[in-house]
Amino acid sequence: MSPPPPPTCALEHWDSSALAPAERLAYWHDVAHNWVDVQPLSPGEQLQASWSLLRGADCFFGTKQSSAYEMRTAARHVPPGEDMVVISLLQSGQMRLNAAPGEHQHASAGMLGLYVPYQDACYRWGAGARQTYIALPRREVTAALGREPTNMAIALAQCALAPLLASQLSHLSLLARQPEQLDEHEYAGLLDATRALTLLTLRNLGRQGRNLDRPDAADPQHRGRHAAALRFMQQHAHRHDLHADAIAHGAGCSRTRLYEAFAARGETVMGTLRELRLQRARALIEQGSRLNVGALSWRCGFADPSGFSKLFRARFGLAPTEWHQQARATRPM
């Protein structure tokens, strides 16, 4: 029996330019910051902000950019039934966090952070700051970390999966700002994969210094390992020496766990890597005005141009040169 299709996931957008300046701050609080207390702006300042949201059944993803403003969090601001924790990537700009007297954090572009809205804190967003984040129920974050979450910065070198999570959040952010690229079911699948990778990253972070491959009877981490491995392969598909051990290391698990995660989806690790490389080659052929099969095969991770051409024909029914000719013939002038 095939698994049920993922639920639809509608993409929502908001932009401050659609409102009068006097109405923007209140509306920004209602649509993007209903868990916090947004502070008044300085006299003469106007809020400039945009925000996109993907809302799933048990989590949501957002990406926003704004002019400078300040917000404060506390338990009294969190609506009943919305006890969530935010795992955030600061893509650009700066953010200063005063979590408590004497506790200061300074986040700059490229940093991950874990933020708990029910804790007292003051967030100061710098001009042009872009935040991309996923919000998960606190019970799930607590279970993954093995302890109650607190406001904390996460250095990319601190956790094996942190760079992959940052890359996944950036990728989904880009797609969320291009709504014509995907449909609701595809967004739902990406959001589910991002949620799984986030939980696996938090689990990895919470188990620092311990064995990451402790046997699990049901092993609910398959989905996260698959998402982590897939993201790693997307980043390193050009490497001709990429093999299962390297992919497993990049995904923060053993090779056995990696194989299990792909087998649970009816896939193989190297078969998925080959498909990813072939799809990349096809996209480059369709985009380019000229074609050098040798250079293309090398760029896409195939060391042997002849072998690449055979694999391409077997997968798509045409040789790379024939596909290129067909693409040029159908390309708009």
Block residue for tokens 């696996």: 200
**Structure-derived torsion over alpha carbons of residues 174, 176, 180, 185, reported in degrees to the nearest 10:** 120
Q: What is the full DSSP assignment across 79-118? A: PTT--EEEEEEEEESEEEEEEETTEEEEEETT-EEEE-TT
User: Which parts of 19-172 are beta strand (E)?
Assistant: 37-38, 49-55, 60-66, 69-73, 84-92, 94-100, 103-108, 112-115, 121-125, 129-137, 152-154
Residue type, 322: E
| Cβ atoms within 10 Å, residue 269 | 22
Residue 81: the pLDDT is 74
Which domains, and CATH codes, for the chain? 11-179 (2.60.120.10), 272-330 (1.10.10.60)
Select the more confidently predicted residue: 264 or 46: 46
**pLDDT value of position 332:** 58
Instruction: Tell me how far apart the alpha carbons of residues 307 and 292 are, in angstroms, rounded to a whole number.
Output: 15
Sorting pLDDT into bands at 50, 70 and 90, what band is 65?
A: very high
Indicate the pairing of strand 103-108 with strand 129-137: unpaired
The pLDDT of residue 278 is: 92
Mean pLDDT, rounded, for 217-224 = 63
In terms of Cα–Cα distance, which of 84, 90, 85, 128 is closest to 106? Answer: 90
Q: What is the pLDDT of residue 208?
A: 65
Average pLDDT of the chain is 83
